[in-house]
Amino acid sequence: SQQGEEDPQALSIQEGENATMNCSYKTSINNLQWYRQNSGRGLVHLILIRSNEREKHSGRLRVTLDTSKKSSSLLITASRAADTASYFCATAINSGNTPLVFGKGTRLSVIA
Amino acid sequence: SAVISQKPSRDICQRGTSLTIQCQVDSQVTMMFWYRQQPGQSLTLIATANQGSEATYESGFVIDKFPISRPNLTFSTLTVSNMSPEDSSIYLCSVEGQGSGEKLFFGSGTQLSVL
């Protein structure tokens, strides 16, 4: 069953702006991951945050996790047209427990 | 990391036929996962394939419809049998990368259209 629910479903911004996507989940997790998918192709892992972490950075990406609210956010700063893609959160209930459960995704369009 | 070669990348098939999708990994992996992504939707796990044993199917998916082979630690196939238009989806294989923890690596996907 699907665990993550992304919000918004679709987001359109201008190049240079920041994009924020949110993910909510229902059960306790070991970690939460964000993936990117270009044009319906394979997914690429972006970042993983563990349940005992609150914030993590990777380049222009910033992920936060609030386990009390069962929610996470992905911030992409200084967006580029090449960031146009669908972004999915995925949760792992236990350590080393794959497969992951994916949310419905946010379709991000960055307009040059 | 893991590099996965998945083929075919896309196919258009007639109702009632079957299609076999292949995934080749550049390293030995214990588990391989097959996902389905229906148009505009998220990923749904079909089954987990372990080498040397039968695949484990998720609720709503059965072996007769989606037979899986896993002959060795680097290769797996998924067959979509007796296809109907409802099977039109993207099918993705994935593996957990060596030393990457829980991170998944994905093939490029197979876009299937059933007429």
pLDDT digits (tens, 9 = 90+) for B61-99: 999 999 999 999 999 999 999 999 999 999 999 998 766
Give B-chain residues touching A90 at CB under 8 angstroms: 104
Distance from CA of A3 to the nearest CA of B (A): 11
Interatomic CA distance for residues A67 and A56, integer angstroms:
14
- Contact criterion met (CB below 8 Å) for A57 and A72: no
The 10s digit of each residue's pLDDT in A47-62 is 999 999 999 999 999 9
CB contact under 8 A, A95 and B111: no
CA-nearest of B74, B83, B70 to B110 is B83
Q: At residue A3, does pLDDT exceed 80?
A: no
Q: Give the residue numbers in A contacting B (CB under 8 Å), as ranges.
A: 2, 30-31, 33, 35, 40-45, 48, 88, 90, 92, 95-105
pLDDT reported for residue A1 = 46
Give B-chain residues touching A101 at CB under 8 angstroms: 45
Interatomic CA distance for residues B10 and B25, integer angstroms:
19
pLDDT reported for residue B52 = 81
pLDDT reported for residue A14 = 97
Q: At residue A98, does pLDDT exceed 80?
A: no
Give the list of residues 6+ apart from residue A68 with CB closer than 8 angstroms, or none. Answer: none
